[in-house]
Amino acid sequence: MSPAPRRPGRAGGDHRDDRRDRRDRADGTASRDARRPAVREQATPRRIAFDVVHAVSAEDAYANLVLPQRLRRASLHGADAAFATELAYGTLRRRGFYDAVIREASGRDLDAIDPAALDLLCLGAHQLLGMSTPVHAAVDETVGLTRPLGLARATGFVNAVMRRISERTAPEWAARLLRGVDDPDERLAIATAHPVWVVVALRAALEREGRGGELEALLESDNVPARVTLAALPGLAQPGDLGEEVDPTPYSPLGRRAASGDPGDDPAVAAGRVRVQDEGSQLAALALSRARPVAAGERWLDLCAGPGGKAALLAAEARAGGARFTANEVVPARAGLVQRALAAVDPAVEVRTADGRDIGRTDRHGFDRILLDAPCTGLGALRRRPEARWRKRPDDVPELAALQAELLDAALDALAPGGLLAYVTCSPHPDETTGVVDRVLDARPEVVRVDTAAVLAGVTRAPLDLGSLDGAVQLWPHRHGTDAMFIQLLTVPAAPPSAPAADSLGA
């Protein structure tokens, strides 16, 4: 159900460029991809970063999948791997801003620039404006990549644009781009490299809590890489097993902040006893599992379980409490990921591959606790998905909201009387969060909102600074250091005791 990927576009606007059309219109400043010879060269950090950025723009690839493969293939570690990661991810996060700078510096529309040369210039712009790379190194290394990339004809153009970009700092370029722009959301979009519609949506989400003044801090936090956090699965590991050099997470009782380096090198992580997992995701799962004591024999369900992070945590919690756990995922490949994620907890856990919208019909009242981590735009996880903000479109929201409502309705049908359901998204967009819950509950007056903030107050290490959302919880990267997870617990009352039969009353 993921929305169709889009090519990053101009700062503050929706990108609707069609890559093929642009390639066909590219002028003679560079050769075309099809004519570019395959050249074997040393896999430097800059070359790897280019490969990642170009794969995202040319093939709609996902950076978080491409980058680890390229680093492993090149055997790049330590400082070189960190440089390649920052160069690729930082470029993708601020892509719209850099496109606008390049348009201004080159005096050309982006359509008139060879796509590969444009990707290379964006990498160069990030070194000049977003990193501490000396100007001579950023310019020389960027120009030096033109020939190995088959862009020899664009060498002079790339050199000229890079030198023009180097004449101003990032704030000076922002001031130049902001000339004549009066709308506050458009100004924030340009200054912080977000599409305007995302700024508008995040503003609305904060204002419903009376925290609209935090918008700029939120947008800035989206441009800061998320620190890696770990979760020790109950019954399989203890947070203290990760060593004293890692700090406890401020809220999750299971979490630790990972030390520098690849967390996959830790044997406990490699074995699946400890998982790399955002603290917000840990709290979403724990809100469901620890809202009340577990009764042996309870039936638990993760309805949209892929790729399996929350499922593994819930399965461990279920096993510790004597409950039975089932995972469901509609996409077979993602169901395979769930199976692997659960292997460390219990290889025998049932993993279904089915459309979650059918669960109310196939398993009516079949589960005592259900996690519905609904498909969403992911606007709450922009720190860790660098290209995501430029791929999403406002048109995606109503389609996803309709799906979310269908899934929530089905999940409530599958909930046993007296059971507990957690509706969760990694988006704070009002239409995907409170809007969906309000819409479904308007038609189901029997469903009761559970004070989720009160539940988490009994789970977290430290109090959460939360807004008032009618019983729901909204986490934020700028306030809590987590993804912007939305969590709403719901319940349906237990069925009243049956009236005694007339003959039992002696009638």
| Residue ranges of the binding site for S-adenosyl-L-methionine | 304-310, 329, 355, 373
Q: How far apart are CA 354 and CA 306, in angstroms?
A: 12
Q: What is the DSSP letter of 282?
A: H
| 389 Cα distance to chain centroid | 10
Q: How many residues does the chain have?
A: 507
First-residue to last-residue Cα distance in the chain: 59
Helix (H, G, I), strand (E, B) or coil at 299: strand
In contact, 84 and 76? CB cutoff 8 Å: yes
Extract the tokens encoding 364.
Answer: 């009516």
Residues carrying an active site annotation: 426
Question: Residue 60 region, left (φ>0) first, then alpha (ψ -120 to 50), else beta?
Answer: left
Binding-site positions: 304-310, 329, 355, 373
Instruction: Please name every residue paired with 256 in a beta bridge, in sequence order, or none if there are none.
Output: 230, 248
Alpha carbon distances (Å) from 116 to 6, 43, 303: 16, 17, 41
What is the bridge-based pairing of β-strands 486-491 and 415-425?
antiparallel
Instruction: Please name every residue paired with 371 in a beta bridge, in sequence order, or none if there are none.
Output: 302, 422
Alpha carbon distances (Å) from 173 to 102, 139, 142, 145, 314: 10, 17, 20, 25, 48
In contact, 475 and 381? CB cutoff 8 Å: no
Helices (runs of H) and strands (runs of E) counted in the chain: 22, 11
Is the N-terminal amide bond of 347 cis, ω within 30° of 0?
no
Q: Give the number of other CB atoms < 10 A from CB of residue 32.
A: 13
